[in-house]
Amino acid sequence: MVKLSIVQFTPLWANKTQNLERIASLIRGLESDIIVLPELCTTGYSFLKKTEALDEAEDTSGKSIAFFREAAVAKKAMIIAGFAERDRENVYNSAVAALPDGSVKIYRKTHLFFKETLCFEPGNSGFYVIEHPLVDCKVGMMVCNDWRYPEAARSLALLGADLIACPSNLVSTLWGVGMPARALENKVYLAVANRCGTEIRMLEDGADQKLTFNGGSVVYDFNGSPLVKAASDEDAVLTSLIDPVLTRDKHFNAYNDLIKDRRPDQYYLG
């Protein structure tokens, strides 16, 4: 069995120091094999233009990555967290997987949402799967709005993911319809670490943009049923035990295998 934790909290906008302190406090004493944190959890979410995102973004030598790397080594855990990634003059809405051996892998969000399209480049990392070096679990990453596109989770499942980790900053409640389907249709566990709280930014016309993130962080089992579920508006650290091996036989009865029954020659996915 693998011990999986999801962390929900309220990052402060453009305050990396306090956010990293808050994360350190939340995961202190946590002994889990995998820890998933929200999207953009070291910077906050509400960037309105690219220059703002560039100001907060960092490459893999930055202090967010250093923090997660150190924590992963110290805890012998895989830590997955969203951060604003700078690569020369480009910014990506990325997730890092920091591994207990001190290495890091980066996933760049494929499907940008709303005004992210003004600030970030569409991700170009593609989908891939990471083998946890200490426990038998293959982990794939997607970020928030990727839930809406079944191709994201499907890609990860076809690549062999047992668990999809999904750092999120969700504002619409429609994800409650789509996320459990991603787990069920792929027979994988799905860990959604959402943030909570409200961010208010002033727009150029003087009006306010107010975004409330709806928490409810959840781990779905491979039938799409919640194993743990946070409240909508409170910080939370929730832990569940999952058995990744159970996701590998894709039969859902004696006659049907979810992956082998696919009929790519009959699909129109142009």
Active site residues: 39, 109, 144
Enumerate residues 183-202 that contact its own copies by CB under 8 A.
Answer: 184-185
Answer for which of 95, 152, 192, 237 binds its own copies (CB under 8 A) is 152
Helix axes 63-75, 16-27, angle to 10 degrees: 10
Q: Which of 111, 132, 138, 195 binds its own copies (CB under 8 A)?
A: 111
Question: To the nearest whole angstrom, how small is the minimum distance from the Cβ of residue 149 to its own copies?
Answer: 6
Phi, psi torsion values for 148, nearest 5 degrees: -75, -20
Contacts of 235 (CB under 8 A, 6+ apart): 8, 9, 10, 26, 196
User: What tokens were used for 211?
Assistant: 């975004």
Helices 150-158/175-186 angle, 10° precision: 20
State the sign of the Cα–Cα–Cα–Cα dihedral 226, 232, 234, 235. Answer: positive
CB nearer to its own copies: pick between 72 and 157 = 157
Q: Closest approach of Cβ 155 to its own copies, in Å?
A: 4
* Under 8 Å between Cβ of 68 and 104: yes
Which 203-262 positions form the footprint of its own copies (CB under 8 A)? 223-224, 252-256, 258, 261-262
Q: How far is the CB of 225 from its own copies (least distance, A)?
A: 8
Among 17, 25, 51, 117, binds its own copies (CB under 8 A): 117
d(CA 86, CA 105): 15
Instruction: Give the binding site for its own copies (CB under 8 A).
Output: 110-115, 117-118, 122-124, 126-127, 145, 148-152, 154-155, 158-159, 174, 177-178, 180-181, 184-185, 223-224, 252-256, 258, 261-264, 266-270
